[in-house]
Structure 1
Amino acid sequence: MTQNSHTTNDLLLNTLEQFPNGASIEEIIARSRLKLNTRTLQRRLNDLRISGLITTTGKTRGLRYHLTNKNKLENSTNFPDALLSDASQKILTIVQSPIQKRRPVGYNRSFLENYQPNISNYLSLSELEKLAALGNTARLNEPAGTYAKEILNRLLIDLSWNSSRLEGNTYSLLDTERLISSGHVADNKSAKEAQMILNHKDAIEFIVQLADEIGFNRYTLLNLHSLLSNNLLPNPAASGRLRHIPVGIQNSVYTPLAVPQLIEEMFDLMLDKASQIKNPFEQAFFIMVHIPYLQPFDDVNKRVSRLASNISLNKHNLAPLSFIDVPNELYTKGLIGVYELNRIELLKDVFLWAYERSAAQYSVLRQSLGEPDPFRLKYRDQIRSIIRKIISEAMPRPQVEPFLQDQAKGLPEVDRDRLIEVVETELLSLHEGNFARYMVRPSEFRKWQDEWRY
């Protein structure tokens, strides 16, 4: 068997690990993103079945592939055994002990106060260098958010699904893709699960489309929470507002701050320190640690931290962190290590592993994108401004052509027809999954669509 065959088989096994109840061949194709035709993929899966690594249930269209019990055990223990540091193993041992044997603790102000931006470091120099190499997208010198916009459709699905999955959401990847792309709500799934995923979509569009305007400040974090918590909180007024009530942490002896004035004080201090951190990876991990630790909102804190960790990555055109394959239990244990011990090593190992997986995924996707069109890059701002005006004003079709002719007059003569062609092509390809790049409201887009139907 060739090295490439081994790599493909490993990817198939890792893919099946994400489906405890087995996966159809369509789900395997979507999740693994292997560039194989269906017949070749079926042969590979059959080879794995013959080798005893996977089993099947059902027939024809109902056929599903499963990891064998032996292989499930080996794969589920591979991550902690191979990649967790000694410090992480010790943290894991402590947080896995019975809850009644762990000492109750409250919020420790000094954990945040003692962190000095660009002097204190959660990530070592060698770790930062490795992350920088993994995240390089060849877009580093371009405007903030350029790379994330290129892969937005894929990122919407990956990050929405994985972040929701870490909250216990039972939507499959294919269900998530259908919900985001066409609004189709999966059968036998709760409205809450659909709302969670759609909220992620809105929040991701927010941090990607406004990459050059947002940052670690109140406006960004409060609005990010508002988008992620929309229609999910018992008290609608709590969406986008700092917490006024006490909260507890499930399966932990940690009790967060309960005094609103202290929550606000530490929230502002956290943002001030985060905004000063120069390295985007240190900044991303810092926010992944301290938002959940402070619990500044009534709920949805971890979701805010996962999307906020991408703000600095997007700004620097680095590969995003979409939490592909991150084990829910290990991620939760890493957070409990922060809550109860103020130790970051276990969560850091999860972060490092997760970023390596995400970067590898988008490296493959990036290669398939090819080089960007130099013309579109050159006139990026003009194209965006023109299309935004057409949509936001629900401009009727008969008015668009003279409007484009007028807008093109400001360009060199050789570029005028090309600009019109590009804008018209973009208008014809617009749909509900990609209009956010022009920073128009969903209501404006729907109004424009209605106008263009006639």
Structure 2
Amino acid sequence: MDFTKIEELRTTLKMIQPLNTGELKRLRDEFMIDNTYNSNAIEGNVLTLEETALILQLGITIAEKPIKDHLEAIGHKDAFEYIMQLAADETDLTEHVIKTVHSLVLINDANNRGVYRSLPVKILGSEHIPPQPYLVPVQMEELVHDYTKMQQEKHIIEAIAEFHLRFESIHPFIDGNGRTGRLLMNLELIKAGMMPVNIKFTDRLKYYNTFDAYRNGNAIEAMTTLIANYEVEELEKHIQILAQ
């Protein structure tokens, strides 16, 4: 895949006067709320974007909406803020980091937070069967190890795409794998000097299809293209904001 457009947009962005601290925080908070809504909605959370904003910004409880969904919004926000700090510190992606991100995401499940699953699982709506529990620690260790090599041999977006596909295929946790995986994707994008991306709830079928493409032929192109297109979208949006 040709990443020329992304590199050109990144160069353009660097040449424009940056935002001040307050403006940057406002944009980051807006992204966090939108990202929290979309990532949780993909997994079945019924809060609207507006309700998510009210919970995260004002601490308002939404009547007749599940407490679980409220906690998922708060947990995702905490996990997002955590990965932002990790990115600022240029922290390496390790199993400890992965488990910590998951422990924040799964705020409503004290027994399974940050713990690899001990039960076999099946992904709803998919023919893919994740590995048996005893294989999870081995495959996660291999994945983290392989990711270092991926970064050396591939464009960073390709490396992140392959990591995400393999992570979700291992499905290391009993719950919260999707949200955790997408947060890790953004952690690695930010560390690489790119914009975090927001996979939209409305694009969930396109997103799911990238996993089918990978599992049917071990191809990462579909996921790579999806992430790259979102990256272009975020870069163009920020350039437009700065240009104004």
Is 1:282 matched with 2:158? Answer: yes
Taking the aligned partners of 1:227 and 1:317, their CA distance within structure 2 comes to: 24
Mapped contact 1:324–1:358 kept (Cα < 8 A): no
Distance 1:270 1:173, change over 3 A: same
Residue 222 of structure 1 aligns with an amino acid whose one-letter code is: K
Alignment pair present for 1:230 and 2:107: yes
Aligned to 2:221: 345
Aligned to 1:249: 123
Q: Which moved more, 1:318-327 or 1:202-211?
A: 318-327
1:267 pairs with 125, 140, 145, which one? 140
Equivalent residue runs for 1:116-265 within 5 Å? 124=1, 126=2, 128-135=3-10, 137-138=13-14, 151-211=27-87, 212-231=89-108, 233=109, 236-260=110-134, 262-265=135-138
- 184-193 or 245-254: bigger deviation: 184-193
- Structure 2 counterparts to residues 383-422 of structure 1, below 5 A: none
Matches within 5 A, 1:255-334: 255-260=129-134, 262-276=135-149, 277-278=151-152, 279-324=155-200, 326-334=202-210
CA contact (8 A) 1:176 1:197 kept: yes
Partner residue, 1:410 = none
Contact 1:252-1:340 within 8 A present in 2 as well: no
Q: Distance in 2 between matches of 1:307 and 1:203?
A: 8
Compare relative contact order (CA 8 Å, sep 6+) and give the higher one, 1 or 2. 2
How far the C-alpha of 1:243 sits from its partner, in A, is 1.8
Deviates more, 1:273-282 or 1:176-185: 273-282
Deviation at 1:222, TM superposition (A): 0.8
Q: CA RMSD in A?
A: 2.6
Taking structure 1 as reference, are residues 243 and 182 closer, same or farther at Cα in structure 2, changes over 3 Å only? same
Identity %: 23
Gaps in structure 1 of 5+ consecutive residues: 1-123, 140-146, 369-454
**What one-letter code is carried by the residue in structure 1 that aligns with 2:60?**
H
Q: 1:161, CA displacement in angstroms?
A: 1.4
Letter in 2 for 1:190: P
Please state how far the C-alpha of 1:177 moved relative to its aligned partner. Answer: 1.4
What amino acid maps onto 2:147 in structure 1? Answer: A
Measured after TM superposition, the shift of residue 341 of structure 1 is: 4.2
| 8 Å CA contact 1:325, 1:354 repeated in 2 | no
How many Å separate the matches in 2 of 1:328 and 1:219?
Answer: 28
| CA distance in 1: counterparts of 2:243 and 2:103, whole angstroms | 35
**Alpha-carbon offset, residue 203 of structure 1:** 0.6
Alpha-carbon separation, structure 2, partners of 1:366 and 1:167? 33
Aligned positions of 1:37-116 closer than 5 A: none
Give how far 1:291 is off. 0.9
- Cα deviation, residue 183, structure 1: 1.0
* Residue in structure 2 matched with residue 104 of structure 1 by the alignment: none
User: Is residue 36–residue 73 contact of structure 2 (8 Å, CA) maintained in 1?
Assistant: yes
TM superposition shift of 1:210: 2.6
Distance 2:131 2:124 in 1: 15
Cα distance in 2 between the residues matched to 1:169 and 1:362: 28
| 1:320–1:359 Cα contact (<8 Å) kept | no
TM-score normalised over the length of structure 2: 0.84
The match for 1:7 is none
Cα offset, 1:265, TM superposition = 1.2
**Alpha-carbon distance in structure 2 between the residues aligned to 1:316 and 1:169:** 30
Deviation at residue 131 of structure 1 after TM alignment? 2.8
Question: Could you tell me how far 1:342 is from its partner in structure 2?
Answer: 2.8
CA gap 1:349/1:326 in 2 versus in 1, 3 angstroms? farther
Shift of 1:324: 4.2
Indicate how the Cα distance of structure 1 residues 185 and 163 shifts in structure 2: closer, same or farther if over 3 A, else same: same
The residue aligned with 1:356 is 232
Question: Which structure has the larger Rg?
Answer: 1
- The question of whether the paired residues in 2 share the 8 Å contact of 1:207 and 1:214 is answered with no
Change (3 A) 1:326 1:356: farther
Q: Cα gap change, 1:342/1:185 in structure 2, threshold over 3 Å: closer, same or farther?
A: farther
- Closer, same or farther: CA 229–215 of 1 in aligned 2, 3 Å: same
Q: Which structure has the highest helix share of the two? A: 2
C-alpha contact (below 8 Å) 1:267/1:296 kept by paired residues = yes
